[in-house]
């Protein structure tokens, strides 16, 4: 019964999305007050409610493990812990699509309910675009992959008890990225709405901004968590491989970062109109492209879990319609939208333009490097593009961007002079040079990590300079958000540069009782003992490790053998100190009885992920700040309108 309710709600929601599309399009011809056009907003709100019902039904059938539902039987099991039963609802193709439309429809309902800044016609066009994107997913869900399909004969037990997949990270990582992607789809809809009505105004940017910020926060968290997962799971101490799947999550982030900054120029200064629209389209394209690359398996990746060429062609089809359509509209319409206000190079906008160009160039490099093997394979040539390409080539654009990131926020809008901030600039340049000389002389560091260290320190200081001369308590929340996000990037950069410059590695063959050292650590392998878990057996190393002769600590890296499915994994141990991490892995036994042990000391490596979290926190603060000031402005407007009305009636 519950499953049927879910399916019915999904059909109704799809019908409402169609109504919403028609309403929004009719509005473009017949005006915002046409009968059917006025249904657009209510349709969006109702659609959100219905999809929520549908998704709740799916959660419910998973929660009670209703084995007459095919999806539950295939992906769940009565003996699973509740949290994994629930996460199983979106841990499969159909469920993840339903999650996608759910988040999307709820977002649509929210903008339909509260967003009143834009001209009604633009709003209707935006909602039409939103329903256009959603309809593709509804169509596929309802016609080709119904999540509520029943089995003729209920299954005796579910098939989804693979303990390897019962991982809290795996359960929540995909939805985090999805929410980011969907947030970008809202920005995309706003961009299309503005393009349809040619109303590219500061209000448009303000309406779009919270969605970009929200999406950006989720993408940041998703990338940070994914990188940490690779770091501890793969067992070789690497945290970023420039792998296609990693790049697929990085590209929307880069585009969203650029969009965030260009939208802020549009909101404050009514400039960069066409460019902001373009980025709105590009950011969502990158999410779809990323999904395509991950799901279709056209590129080889370490992280490819659910590869299916058929789904690949479906996503490619949607990609063609959405992005092809949007770019066509862009080519036809954008010519008649003026770029907006001009400005000088020494201004906040000027710096933001530099930032945008650099971010776009980095995005282009990542895109090129990721897709290039796909291109050559069409000519039967196989090439590999990896870290030795991405690191230096993207650095060409990263370091200029970091430089402008340090000074840009000190500049005023519209017109400023370098003379006004000369003292700050001199301080930062001195700091940069001092750091370069210091690290260059003290340690033998390669050029990129050296630049990274120096820029990280400079940017770390620079990011707080916009607060100078301000009352810290009165500084707006959005300013704090920017400061924190920029500082977070500096922190992450320091972690990366330090990891790359100062890590030490030790591969050793140790017998029981042998001692070795890595960096400041002394490591003793006391014994290797067998242990057993629910579905694995392991050889567990008992090691005593001590930091510069301090009190020893026991760690137990394991080499695990799972039996269903048969798989050998290394359970590494990460021992965190304030100034870095000790990373220990135990491998196989050599014929002479000694054990392969891999050890790394990675100074400041944890800063990479703390930095990522700070960036996300900055985004959250900015989001709260923006929404709060929007609400304040709105209530002020309403009060003003009420007073005016009062005055008029008094007259």
Partner 1 sequence: MRLLAGLLMALAALPLAAQQTLPPAPYAYRQLEDPAQEAQAQELMETLRCLTCQSQSIADSDAPMAGDMRHQVRIRIAAGEEPEEIRSWLMERYGDYVSYEPVMSASTWPLFAIPLLLVLIAAAIFWRRFRKRA
Partner 2 sequence: MSWRLWLPLLLFSGFLGLAAYQLTQEKDQTIESRMVGNELPYFELPSAFEGEPAVNSAYFQQGGPKLLNIWASWCLPCIAEAPQLEALKEGGAEIVGVAIRDRPEDIERFLAQHGNPYSRIGRDDLSEVQLAIGSSGVPETFVVDGEGRIRYQHIGDVRASDVPLLLEELRKAGE
Binding site residues, partner 2, CB under 8 A = 278, 281-282, 285, 289, 292, 296-298, 300, 309, 312-313, 316, 319-320, 323-324, 327-328, 330-331, 334-335, 371, 374-375, 377-378, 380, 382
Which of these ranges, 19-27, 38-46, 176-184, 340-348, lies near partner 1 under the rule CB under 8 A? 340-348
**Per CB under 8 A, which region of 42-50, 104-112, 191-199, 503-511 contacts partner 1?**
503-511
Q: Which stretch binds partner 1 (CB under 8 A): 11-19, 178-186, 449-457, 562-570?
A: 562-570
The DSSP 8-state label assigned to residue 1 in this structure reads -
Other beta carbons within 10 angstroms of residue 442's beta carbon come to 8
* 588 touches partner 1 by CB under 8 A: yes
Which entry of partner 2, partner 1, none binds 371, CB below 5 to 8 A by partner kind? Answer: partner 2
Q: Check binding of 31 to partner 1 (CB under 8 A).
A: no
Binding partner at 135 among partner 2, partner 1, none, C-beta below 5 to 8 Å by kind:
none
Does 357 participate in binding partner 1 (rule CB under 8 A)? yes
How many C-beta atoms lie closer than 10 Å to residue 524's C-beta? Answer: 18
Residue 280: φ, ψ to 5°: -60, -40
d(Cα 532, Cα 618) in Å, to the nearest integer? 44
Q: Which is nearer to partner 1, 48 or 350 (CB)?
A: 350
Residue 136 contact partner, candidates partner 2, partner 1, none, CB within 5 to 8 A by sort of partner: none
> Is the distance from CB of 332 to CB of 230 less than 8 angstroms?
no
Residue 23 or 237 with smaller CB distance to partner 1: 237
Instruction: Please choose which of partner 2, partner 1, none residue 292 contacts, taking the beta carbon within 5 to 8 angstroms, the exact cut-off set by kind.
Output: partner 2
Helices (H) and strands (E) in the chain — how many of each?
18, 10
d(CA 151, CA 164): 27
> Is-contact 299 384, C-beta < 8 A?
no
CB within 8 A of 613, min separation 6: which ones?
221, 224, 488
From the list partner 2, partner 1, none, pick the one residue 312 interacts with, judged by a Cβ distance below 5 to 8 Å according to partner type: partner 2
Considering the complex, state which of residue 140 and residue 583 has its C-beta at the smaller distance from partner 1. Answer: 583
Residue by residue, DSSP assigns 572-636 as -EEEEETTEEEEEEEEEEPTTS-EEEEEEEEETTTHHHHHHHHHHHHHHHHHHHHHHHHHHHHHH
| CB of residue 407 to partner 1, shortest distance in Å | 15
The partner residues of 558 in beta bridges, in order of sequence, read 540, 571
Burial (CB < 10 A; 0-12, 13-18, 19+), residue 57, is buried
**Which among partner 1, partner 2, none contacts residue 330 (Cβ within 5 to 8 A by kind)?**
partner 2
**Residue placing its CB nearer to partner 2 in the complex, 144 or 426:** 144
E strands, 214-296, are: none
Q: Is residue 419 a contact point for partner 1 (CB under 8 A)? A: no
The reply on whether position 561 binds partner 1 by CB under 8 A is yes
What single-letter DSSP state applies at residue 135? H
Does 300 contact partner 1 by CB under 8 A? yes
Among 77, 269, 598, 626, indicate the residue that binds partner 1 (CB under 8 A).
598
Which of 107, 365 has the CB closer to partner 2?
365
550 makes contact, choosing from partner 2, partner 1, none, with CB < 5 to 8 Å by partner type, with none
Binding of residue 371 to partner 1 (CB under 8 A): no
- Using CB under 8 A as the binding rule, whether residue 238 contacts partner 1 is answered as yes
* Token representation of residue 209: 């901004």
| Shortest separation between residue 163's beta carbon and partner 2, angstroms | 25
Span interacting with partner 1, options 104-112, 126-134, 314-322, 506-514, rule CB under 8 A: 506-514
Least distance in Å: CB of 383 to partner 2?
11
Cis check: omega of the bond before 133, within 30 degrees of 0: no
Least separation in angstroms between residue 276's CB and partner 2 is 14
Measured at the CA of 506, the angle between CA 538 and CA 581, to 5 degrees, comes to 75
Residue 570's binding partner out of partner 2, partner 1, none, with CB under 5 to 8 Å set by partner kind: partner 1
Two tokens, residue 62:
């998973």
Q: How many residues make contact with partner 1 (CB under 8 A)?
A: 62
DSSP code of residue 198: T
Q: Which does 328 bind (CB under 5 to 8 A by kind): partner 1, partner 2, none?
A: partner 2
Please identify, using beta-carbon distances, which residue of 151 and 364 lies nearer to partner 2.
364
Q: Cβ-count burial of 592 within 10 angstroms (0-12 exposed, 13-18 middle, 19+ buried)?
A: exposed
396 binds partner 1 (CB under 8 A): yes
The residue to which tokens 């965190």 are assigned: 576
Instruction: Tell me if 389 contacts partner 1 by CB under 8 A.
Output: yes
Smallest distance, partner 2 to C-beta of residue 338, A: 11
395 is an interface residue for partner 1 by CB under 8 A = no
Q: Residue 506 Cβ, how far from partner 1 at the closest point, in Å?
A: 7
What is the DSSP code string of 405-448? HHHGGGSPSS---GGGGHHHHHHHHHHHHHHHHHHHHHS---HH
Tell me the closest approach of the beta carbon of residue 292 to partner 1, in angstroms. Answer: 17
The DSSP secondary structure of 530-570, one letter per residue, reads EEE-SSEEEEEEEEEEEETT---EEE--EEEEEETTEEEEE
- By the 10 Å C-beta count (0-12 exposed, 13-18 middle, 19+ buried), 69 is classed as buried
Instruction: Work out how close the CB of 135 gets to partner 1 at its nearest, in angstroms, rounded to a whole number.
Output: 35
**Residue 640 vs residues 14, 88, 637, 643, 647: alpha-carbon distances, Å:** 40, 51, 5, 5, 10
Q: How far is CA 385 from CA 47, 242, 391, in A?
A: 44, 9, 11
Which residues bind to partner 1, rule: CB under 8 A? Answer: 234-238, 241, 243-244, 300-302, 304, 341-345, 350, 353-354, 357-358, 361, 364-365, 368-369, 372, 376, 379, 381-389, 393, 396-397, 505-509, 530-532, 536-537, 561, 563, 566, 570, 587-588, 590-591, 596, 598
């Amino acid at each position: 019964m519950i499953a049927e309710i879910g399916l019915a709600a999904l059909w109704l929601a799809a019908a409402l999305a169609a109504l919403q599309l028609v309403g929004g399009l009719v509005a473009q011809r017949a005006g915002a007050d046409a009968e059917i056009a006025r249904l657009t907003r209510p349709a969006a709100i109702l659609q959100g409610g219905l999809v929520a019902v549908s998704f709740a039904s799916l959660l419910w059938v998973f929660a009670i493990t209703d084995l007459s539902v095919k999806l539950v039987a295939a992906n769940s099991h009565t003996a699973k812990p509740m949290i994994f039963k629930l996460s199983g609802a979106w841990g499969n193709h159909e469920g993840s699509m339903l999650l996608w439309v759910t988040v999307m429809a709820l977002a649509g309902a929210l903008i339909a309910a509260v967003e009143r800044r834009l001209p009604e016609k633009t709003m209707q066009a935006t909602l039409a675009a939103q329903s256009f994107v959603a309809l593709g997913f509804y169509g596929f869900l309802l016609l080709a992959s119904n999540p509520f399909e029943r089995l003729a004969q209920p299954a005796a037990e579910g098939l989804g008890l693979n303990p390897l997949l019962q991982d809290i990270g795996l359960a929540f990582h995909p939805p985090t990225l999805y929410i980011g992607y969907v947030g970008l789809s809202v920005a995309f809809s706003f961009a299309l709405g503005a393009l349809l009505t040619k109303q590219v105004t500061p209000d448009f940017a303000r309406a779009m901004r919270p969605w970009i910020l929200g999406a950006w926060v989720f993408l940041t968290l998703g990338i940070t968590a994914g990188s940490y997962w690779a770091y501890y799971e793969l067992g070789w101490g690497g945290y970023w491989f420039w792998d296609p799947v990693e790049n697929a999550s990085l590209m929307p982030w880069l585009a969203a970062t650029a969009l965030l900054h260009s939208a802020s120029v549009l909101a404050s200064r009514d400039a960069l109109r066409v460019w902001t629209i373009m980025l709105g389209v590009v950011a969502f394209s990158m999410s779809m492209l990323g999904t395509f690359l991950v799901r279709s398996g056209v590129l080889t990746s370490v992280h490819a879990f659910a590869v299916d060429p058929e789904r690949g062609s479906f996503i490619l089809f949607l990609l063609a319609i959405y992005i092809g359509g949007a770019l066509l509209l862009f080519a036809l319409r954008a010519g008649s939208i003026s770029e907006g206000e001009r400005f000088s190079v020494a201004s906040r906008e000027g710096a933001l333009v530099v930032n945008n160009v650099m971010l776009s160039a980095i995005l282009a490099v990542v895109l090129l490097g990721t897709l290039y093997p796909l291109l050559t394979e069409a000519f039967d040539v196989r090439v590999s593009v990896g870290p030795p390409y991405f690191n230096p080539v993207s650095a060409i654009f990263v370091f200029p961007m970091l430089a402008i990131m340090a000074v840009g926020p000190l500049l005023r809008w519209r017109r400023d002079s370098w003379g006004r901030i000369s003292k700050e600039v001199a301080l930062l340049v001195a700091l940069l040079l001092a750091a370069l000389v210091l690290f260059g002389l003290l340690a033998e560091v390669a050029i990129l990590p050296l630049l990274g260290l120096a820029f990280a320190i400079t940017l770390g200081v620079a990011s707080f300079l916009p607060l100078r001369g301000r009352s810290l308590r009165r500084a707006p929340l959005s300013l704090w958000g920017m400061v924190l996000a920029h500082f977070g990037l500096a922190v992450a950069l320091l972690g990366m540069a330090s990891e790359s410059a100062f890590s030490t590695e030790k591969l050793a063959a140790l017998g029981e009782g042998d001692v070795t050292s890595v960096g400041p650590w002394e490591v003793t392998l006391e014994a290797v003992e067998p242990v057993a878990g629910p579905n694995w057996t392991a050889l567990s190393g008992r090691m005593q490790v001590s930091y510069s002769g301090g009190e020893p600590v026991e760690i137990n890296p394991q080499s695990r053998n799972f039996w269903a499915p048969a798989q050998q994994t290394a359970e590494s141990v990460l021992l965190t100190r304030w100034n870095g991490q000790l990373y220990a892995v135990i491998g196989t036994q050599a014929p002479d009885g000694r054990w392969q042990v891999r050890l790394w000391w990675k100074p400041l490596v944890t800063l990479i992920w703390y930095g990522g979290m700070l960036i996300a926190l900055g985004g959250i603060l900015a989001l709260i700040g923006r929404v709060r000031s929007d609400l304040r402005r709105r209530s002020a407007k309403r009060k003003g309108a009420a007073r005016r009305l009062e005055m008029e009636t008094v007259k």
